[in-house]
Amino acid sequence: MTPEEFRRYGHQAIDWVADFLAHGERYPVLPPVRPGELTDALPARGPEKGEPMETILADFERLIVPACTQWNHPGFLAYFANSGTPEGILGELLAAALNGNGMLWKTSPAVTELEQVTLRWLRQWSGLPEEWFGLIYDTASTSSMHAIAAAREAADPESRTKGTARGLVVYASEQAHSSIEKGAIAIGIGQDYVRKVPVDAEFRMRPDALEELIAADLAAGLRPCCVTATVGTTSTTSVDPVPAIADICARHRLWLHVDAAYAGSAALAPEFRWAFEGCERADSMVMNPHKWLQVPMDCSVFYTSRPDVLRRAFSLIPEYLVSAADPRAVNLMDYGVPLGRRFRALKLWFVMRSYGREGLAAAVREHVRLARWFARQVEADARFEVVAPVHFSVVNFRFRGSDEENRKILERVNAAGGVFLSSTVLHGKYTLHLAVGNYQTGDRHVAKAWELVSGAADKS
């Protein structure tokens, strides 16, 4: 492609994006496609000869977009809704143009240093300790896997050379995200050595139960090494009692990891700081700007107060990557599995500068306001109940009926096309889950969701 052609198609693509963002609601949130339909619509073999960009762009619009679940739709109210903001999209575009690879400081000083600068700002905005070291991974799953690897390194340094010793044990609540268990699988600790700590009536880890499990494991000759506390669990956004968990970790010298993948963004608003009490005592913490901080996929921030341990776990420098030592030249490849790392900090920087801390806190606040409004509608309708406390921007609720009736309600709501809600299981019952998190979601969308839910219940 010549520079002039790029300019032409680039303008066309940006025009398309601007229209898409302005009129995203023209698509249903959930695409009405069957499994395999897109595959069948595309050629079985790739083209021998290059094709014109007009055709490629036309096929993108005709075939690809209609088969996308529209995560950037303001009616996307499922899982943890997120945002591809215009600022973030521009950052992504420019990062792709630079095509930087921050393996070493030398291979891209800007990729390395902007990551350190943005994460310092974020740490300050979140009230986290100044001395923490941060780096960006693709997902919280990867971040938490690195936390478990660092915990293993701290507990059993020989594991780096000899493989993971049997009997290291990892703890997280029954409500913790599955990524903790996956991390333990990946690091070789093994699923049998992941303890799911019981929760209280509000879905928070019970410290007494944690203490009991640790005691039982010690008595059995096992080696507890890591506890993950979650601030904002996946189903209910419950907040584990981090101070009490930190006390237990200190007593037993265990690595404390905090998974704040979703709720971490709320730390930017002072009224939500209560949820982060005790987090300053963590050995590591993850929060995902790609969940609730207006940053497009993917961007997961991993902080640790013990970067030396993480580095010990992973630093391995082949000859061709040896570089001059300089205390200000951080080589991010030393702190994890990935060698190559793309310029994720650029979109984060664009978003942080364009919104400012106040703008990002205001977005969190607005989403919480919308969720609380929805919860009030549910509470005011005797046919429904709110099933878990609404701490942030998520409401778990159910029709006071059978699982089957709730499933049908969800199917009817989602089939209408304008909104997408998801489900979970709480106290053994099928539960509906509404999450506000897209930058364009407003009163209208949440009101529509309630209208559809209550209308679907009329038919039950």
**Which of 48, 109, 74 is closest to 418 using CA atoms?**
74
**Which of 261, 248, 257 is closest to 170 using CA atoms?**
257
Tell me the C-alpha distance between 38 and 68, whole Å. 10
- 169's enclosing H/E stretch is strand 168-173
Both tokens assigned to 456: 């679907």
CA atoms within 13 A on the CB side of 410: 22
Residue 46 C-beta: closest distance to ligand PLP, Å: 29
Both tokens assigned to 413: 């709501």
- Which residue number, 80 or 203, has a Cβ lying nearer to ligand PLP? 80
- Which residue number, 159 or 234, has a Cβ lying nearer to ligand PLP? 234
Residue 176 C-beta: closest distance to ligand PLP, Å: 7
- Which residue number, 234 or 441, has a Cβ lying nearer to ligand PLP? 234
Residue given tokens 């699988």 in the structure block:
185
- Which residue number, 168 or 263, has a Cβ lying nearer to ligand PLP? 263
- Which residue number, 70 or 141, has a Cβ lying nearer to ligand PLP? 141
DSSP structural state of residue 166 = T
- Residues 33, 34, 38, 39, Cα dihedral to 10°: 170
Residue 328 C-beta: closest distance to ligand PLP, Å: 30
Residue 61 C-beta: closest distance to ligand PLP, Å: 28
- Which residue number, 299 or 309, has a Cβ lying nearer to ligand PLP? 299
Instruction: Count the helix, strand and coil residues of the chain and give each as a percent rounded to the nearest 5.
Output: 50, 15, 35
DSSP string spanning 218-277?
HHTT-EEEEEEEEBS-TTT--B--HHHHHHHHHHHT-EEEEE-TTGGGGGGSGGGGGGGT
- Which residue number, 78 or 456, has a Cβ lying nearer to ligand PLP? 78
Tell me the C-alpha distance between 106 and 93, whole Å. 23
**Are the C-beta atoms of 330 and 112 separated by less than 8 Å?**
yes
**Are the C-beta atoms of 123 and 374 separated by less than 8 Å?**
no
Strand partners, 259: 230, 286
- Which residue number, 239 or 378, has a Cβ lying nearer to ligand PLP? 239
Residue 172 C-beta: closest distance to ligand PLP, Å: 10
Pairing type for strands 429-435 and 394-399 reads: antiparallel
- Which residue number, 176 or 346, has a Cβ lying nearer to ligand PLP? 176
Residue 263 C-beta: closest distance to ligand PLP, Å: 8
Residue 378 C-beta: closest distance to ligand PLP, Å: 22
Strand partners, 434: 395
Residue 294 C-beta: closest distance to ligand PLP, Å: 16
Tell me the C-alpha distance between 305 and 443, whole Å. 40
- Which residue number, 170 or 409, has a Cβ lying nearer to ligand PLP? 170
Q: Which residues lie near ligand PLP (CB under 6 A)?
A: 80, 139-141, 177, 179, 230, 233-234, 259, 261-262, 288, 300
Residue 259 C-beta: closest distance to ligand PLP, Å: 5
Burial of residue 431 (CB within 10 Å: 0-12, 13-18, 19+) is buried
**Are the C-beta atoms of 283 and 129 separated by less than 8 Å?**
no
Residue 250 C-beta: closest distance to ligand PLP, Å: 23
